[in-house]
Amino acid sequence: MNWRDYILSDPNIMFGKPVIKGTRIPVDLILEKLGNGETMSQLLESYPRASEAALYACLLFASETIKNEVVYAQAG
């Protein structure tokens, strides 16, 4: 799966925040809700315009974003 098929960042939509294509559902909202324990089923019920594939694409987007981030470890 390619997350780019499901996630869009457009300066004219939500000030450029990544959203699920065809919606105004921000990726960070989906990630936050998953992190707080909501299930895919609950999210699909709450956001019927989002597909299950789009929700998984949010996870792939986050993974790729973190993977490409430079981290500088600090002692202490």
Mean pLDDT score, 1-22: 97
CA distance 41 to 44: 5
Query: Of 24, 57, 23, whose CA–CA distance to 40 is shortest?
Result: 57
Q: What is the mean pLDDT of the chain?
A: 95
DSSP 59-71: HHHHHHHHHT---
Confidence band of 57 (pLDDT split at 50, 70, 90): very high
| Tokens of residue 9, six digits | 């960042």
- Give the per-residue pLDDT at 69: 78
Q: What would the mean pLDDT of 16-39 be, rounded to a whole number? A: 98
**Domains defined for the chain, CATH in brackets:** 3-67 (1.10.10.10)
| Cβ proximity of 33 and 19 under 8 Å | no
Least confident of 1-5, 35-39, 49-53, 69-73: 69-73
- Indicate the pTM of the whole model: 0.87
